[in-house]
Amino acid sequence: MLADYVLLLFSTTPRRAKGVFNVLRGRRTVSTLFAGLTANCLELLDSWHGVDLETLMAVVATLEADQLLVSTTEGSWQLTLAGQKRQQQLQTTLYQPQAFQAFQTIDVRRFERVSQLALQVISEGAHAEKRYYPVTSDPGVQATVKQWLRSSRQPMTVLGKRLYETLNDFLTTLDSDLATIFVMGLTGYQLPGRTDQQLAEQFDRQPLEIWMIRKDLMCQWVLWIQQHQTEPLWPLLAPLIQATAISQSAWQTYQTFLQQPDVQVIARQRKLKLSTVREHLLETAILMPDFPFERLLSSAVVTQLTTIFQEQSDVASWQFQQAQDQLPELDFFWFRLFQIMRCRQEVSA
Amino acid sequence: MTDAELYHLLKVKYGFDEFRPGQLAVISQLLAGEDVLAVLPTGTGKSLIYQLVGTVMPGLVVVVSPLISLMQDQVARLNYQGEKQVAALTSQLDYGTKQRLLTNLSALKFLFVSPEMLNQETVQAALQQVPLALLVIDEAHCISTWGPDFRPDYRALGEMRQQLGAPRTLMLTATATEQVRQDILTQLRVPNAQQICYSVDRPNIYLGVQSLTDEAAKREALQRLVTTVSGPAIVYFTSKRQTDLIAEWLQSTTDLRVAAYHAGLSAEDRFKIQQQFMAGQLDVICATSAFGMGINKADIRVVIHYHLPTTLADYVQEIGRAGRDSQPALAVILYVPGDENLVRSLNDLTAATPNEIARDQQRFEHQLPPTTAVSEVLQFYWQRGVPVETVTDLFGQRQRTKERELNVLMNYVNTPTCRRAVMLAYFDEKAPSHTDTCCQLPGDALPLSALGLAVPIDVPAEPSVTWTQLLAQLFLPNF
Ligand SMILES: [Zn+2]
């Protein structure tokens, strides 16, 4: 089952497996993000958090042994013909997450834990039940929910009714099987909730597929609440949302850059190493839809690099060595920035 | 505080009229300022002891506990009983939460902590800033190398207790031989502690052993037991894989509602299974014995061991989950000759030869990280400068202890005479005379009718409900 979901990550052109997996596992180094950009999977950033890299690489080995994947260059794999067929089949039979992009900018996992407790507390409270086992003993989560209850200043029965209405509104937008999976997984008064294994048996799917479904529904719910900010759970979600997937320090560097583009000056102003400033700018260039490349890359460099790589359409496979052979003074930073710009143009083309 | 006042508190706070055996005696000694080593059988409400003392005495109650899952369950249980100022300090907390917890210790009444965590300097420093009402060492037998459940990090508890200003201490265990008890007091440096020991015997639990020829016969016997004997039931296994496999097999070949329960589950699924079991929505739980289950379900009728327990002491603990309502219950070991080899190979996992020990010390000298579970354990000794010879002696002694424990267990399994007598003799206790409802002698059938356990589990038909109905059940009280 994991193998099926892993197979869906590959295509007919080579992809760096480790890079793609690290994007899904939420690693935010520039080289990982760049791999995500070239494999066009950045919107899955952090969606498979906590899944072990070795496990995933072992799955790739199995897929290769089964002749569904083939390795073209060291560390990269692509679909075989059989792999393509299998992938097409999976795309119609296997549940395909719709809203995993929420993981990029929202701490969905935290909201999952907080909302789980919040719903339980309200459900028990609405039934005037005081003795129950809380779903989590995490003191941070408990404190957050307590604070939320206090500031909402509404009787439990009223909150119960509002939660019923808001969930009902959200769930009617879903397919009824999905709505059932969502509700059956909840914990509350006299209803402990079903485990993934139990839901898998009931809906005749694999537990991992149920896991994907429930994660995806959580994302969909989070995005729905974001659109309905008068709903009672909005105050629990609001602090978990970031404006952008770009890290805070990279964002600050970018703001300084907007005032003046000289990286040396930025490094001095931000008291950072030059290499760090460059990493920050690359991160921003990868994650920001309308990064002003022209303010950094001189038209001379653009012309030179365009000439060097004009015969090579697969941007991801460009080698820095090739550029350096002709432009010995060129820093890797400019090469990578140019590469990112071309990737973006490809994607938007 | 007088007994009358304690009874009043028991009634008001917990709704009970009577203390369970041992509770009052231990509480009175603690309130009189004594350190206490309490050996109380499982299911006697050990947590009520420190809860009540914590209510009476000012300051924080620190409970040292060996398993994270157990700590989380205990926090949930105290929450359930209305104690709000409770937290578990575990390695699973993120940095910020841990820091906030440590700076706000005075706002807490109960803190659960692992021995490793307690050993951290920041934790020690924070605890030194707040008055302690009581230090509780749960599963205190883990401190003794004479016992089979020895945990090296428990070894440092004596020193840590001194650093905390030698607070009043309660050592809790369900099973401990005389030798282990002495070792607990020596290691924790509380030679004058009062010992309060109650019998480990649970007379309402019938002790059975079924010898079978092979694995297939064992499966069948298990299936027959869970479908003919009154439930609910727990079945214990050694491995996670077997737990999953047999749970699935029982679920598909019977009408029973079965779930697997082990450390491989997410915290969320573990919680749900526990709660379903408590609510009577599951009939059988298949569990790994190594994995603690903090639930307190009074009406468990049957505990079956599909694999042998590691030791007789573990066995007593594990079957202690049955019949906490004092009604008749059944404990059965399903035994196929050769099963003891599984226990032996598990014991070998934590063993090391003198050569391996010496080599691991070299590893430490070269500042390389521990690579195996055994070298993690050895690391503990090297960090404290314990010489190789001492460690080698210790490991040799542990191996012999484990082999001895296995012999004791096999003696229980194979005895042609009263099993209860064999069990109690190990804990230096005398058994009452054997009766038909005491234990299963070779050739005996299980006396299910006499025990009142002959009515099999009746699985109610599950009404089908829509998600809208479920949602209403969750949030609308008058639905
Ligand atoms: Zn007997």
- Could you report the per-residue pLDDT of B98-150, keeping only the tens digit for each? 999 999 999 999 999 998 889 889 999 999 999 999 999 998 988 886 665 66
Cβ–Cβ below 8 Å for A133 and B269: no
Residue B175, pLDDT score: 80
Residue B467 lies in a domain: no
Supply the CATH number for residue B107's domain.
3.40.50.300
Give the pLDDT band (50/70/90) at residue A349.
low
Residue B417 belongs to some domain of the structure: yes
DSSP state of A316: G
In the numeric block, which tokens belong to residue A262? 């000289």
Spans of all domains in chain A: 2-94, 105-240, 248-348
Domain termination site, one of B175, B197, B219: B197
Q: What is the pLDDT of residue B76?
A: 84
- Do residues B242 and B210 both lie within one domain? yes
Q: Is residue B290 part of a domain?
A: yes
Q: Collapsing DSSP states into helix, strand and coil, what is residue A15? A: strand
B262 lies in the same domain as B163 = no
Q: Does one domain contain both B182 and B224?
A: no
Residue A187: which of B72, B93, B272 has the nearest Cβ? B272
pLDDT in tens, chain B (479 residues): 888 999 999 998 888 888 988 899 999 999 999 999 999 877 667 889 999 999 999 999 999 998 877 788 888 888 888 888 999 998 888 888 899 999 999 999 999 999 888 988 999 999 999 999 999 999 898 888 666 566 777 888 999 999 999 999 999 998 888 888 999 999 999 989 999 998 889 999 999 999 999 999 999 999 999 999 998 999 999 989 999 999 999 999 999 999 999 988 888 999 999 999 999 999 999 998 766 566 678 899 999 999 999 889 889 989 988 998 989 999 999 999 999 998 888 887 778 888 889 999 999 999 888 888 788 878 888 888 888 888 888 888 888 888 888 999 999 999 999 999 999 999 888 889 999 999 999 989 999 999 999 988 888 888 889 999 999 999 999 87
* Centroid of ligand 1 to alpha carbon of B231 (angstroms): 23
The pLDDT score that the predictor gives to residue B149 is 63
Task: Check residue B291 and give its pLDDT.
Answer: 60
DSSP state of A188: B
pLDDT bucket at A317, cuts 50 / 70 / 90 = confident
Whether residue B309 is found in the same domain as residue B331: yes
Average per-residue pLDDT for chain A: 92
**CA distances (Å), B178 to each of B39, B182, B310, in order?**
11, 6, 20
* Chain A contact present for B79, CB below 8 A: yes
Asked if the peptide bond before residue A155 counts as cis, ω within 30 degrees of 0, the response is no
Q: Are A168 and B471 within 8 A, CB to CB?
A: yes
pLDDT of residue B148: 58
Residue bearing the bigger pLDDT, A18 or B398: A18
Q: Is the minimum CB–CB distance between B93 and chain A shorter than 8 Å? A: yes
**Interface touch A140/B475, C-beta < 8 Å:** no
Domain co-membership, B157 together with B237: no
The verdict on B51 and B146 lying in the same domain is yes
Contacts of A212 (CB under 8 A, 6+ apart): A5, A95, A97
- Nearest residue of A to residue B100 by CA position? A140
The angle at the Cα of B307, spanning B415 to B333, to the nearest 5 degrees, equals: 40
Mean pLDDT of A124-143: 91
Among A124, A146, A155, residue whose Cα is nearest residue B80: A124
Please tell me the total count of domains within chain B: 2
Q: Quick one: B161 and B250 in the same domain?
A: no
| B329 phi/psi in degrees, rounded to 5 | -145, 170
- Are B471 and A171 a contacting pair at CB < 8 A? yes
Query: Cβ–Cβ of B475/A188 closer than 8 Å?
Result: yes
B50: domain range?
3-197
Q: Could B97 and A130 be called an inter-chain contact, meaning their C-beta atoms sit closer than 8 Å?
A: no
Q: What is the pLDDT of residues A134-165, one digit of tens each?
A: 999 888 999 999 999 999 989 999 999 999 99
In a domain, B254, yes or no: yes
For the ranges A4-18, A78-92, B61-75, which has the lowest average pLDDT? Answer: B61-75
Domain-embedded: residue B291: yes
What is the DSSP secondary-structure string of B459-474? PPPPPP--HHHHHHHH
A6 or B76, higher pLDDT: A6
| Chain B residue with minimum CA distance to A120 | B474
Contacting residues of A for B76, CB less than 8 Å apart: 133-134, 137
Residue A78 — φ and ψ, nearest 5°? -140, 165
pLDDT value of position B345: 84
**What is the per-residue pLDDT for A316?**
80
Supply B202's token pair.
């649970």
CATH number of A2-94: 1.10.10
pLDDT bin (cut points 50, 70, 90) of residue A128 is: very high
pLDDT of residue B351: 80
**Beta pairing, strands A76-79 & A69-71:** antiparallel
Q: Which residue, of B197, B220, B252, is where some domain finishes?
A: B197
